[in-house]
Amino acid sequence: MARYRESVCRLCRREGLKLFLKGDRCYGDKCAFERRGYAPGDHGQQRRKQHSDYGVQLREKQKLKRMYGLLERQFRGNFEKADRRKGITGTNLLLSLEGRLDNMVFRMGFANSRSEARQLVTHNHFLLNGKAINIPSYLVSAGDEIQVREKSRKVISILEAMGTIARRGVASWIELDKDNFKGVVKMLPTRDVLTMPVQEQLVVELYSK
């Protein structure tokens, strides 16, 4: 399966925004974006040129795609599904990305980043409503329970992530039972409770050209 293998800190610097791709490191002094908050490359410190409308739309799409750790083909597939559903396409896209199993694992604090959550899900460390599932893109529903498998409760990365939950916080639509290594999706989020700096309508405009 194809995946991005380069430094993820370069992605934050390229977008000019913290995307929180390295978990707890992004909250500390070692964050590369805090040290070098300019674009990567030899000319990264020079003034950025003014983007065209297309350039602004492209950067917004790249930012959203990188935030959720998807490659272009995966992201485009999510957009096409969102476009076929009733409602506002941009909102549908954002909420479908939020509803992914790997994102919910990250939101519950069982992983330090979405990429780490994706790996943990793939390696069968979680149960969904009591059943093993290893599909990161699986869409969860309101009322679903996600639990760390009994044999996985000593996995170092999971324990480390749970140790930093207080710093990162838990989303309001999630009920976390930290002692029992499980969380419940109380409800699916609505657009107004998602505070990420994303203008999803620009993504719709880009793909509608």
We report the CATH number of the domain holding residue 121 as 3.10.290.10
Residue 182 tokens read as 């499980």
Q: What is the DSSP secondary structure assignment for residue 198, as one 8-state letter?
A: -
List the domain range (segments joined by +) for residue 71. 9-43+50-97+197-207
Predicted TM-score (pTM) of this structure: 0.80
**Does 192 reside within a domain?**
no
- Do 80 and 55 share a domain, yes or no? yes
What is the pLDDT at residue 51?
Answer: 72
Q: What's the rounded Cα separation, in Å, for the pair 77 and 45?
A: 35
- Helix, strand, coil percentages, rounded to 5, for the chain: 45, 10, 45
What is the pLDDT at residue 43?
Answer: 44
Number of domains in the chain: 2
Which residue do the tokens 């992201």 mark?
75
What is the pLDDT at residue 166?
Answer: 78
**Does 159 reside within a domain?**
yes
pLDDT lower than 50: segments of the chain? 1, 33, 42-43
- Do 18 and 83 share a domain, yes or no? yes
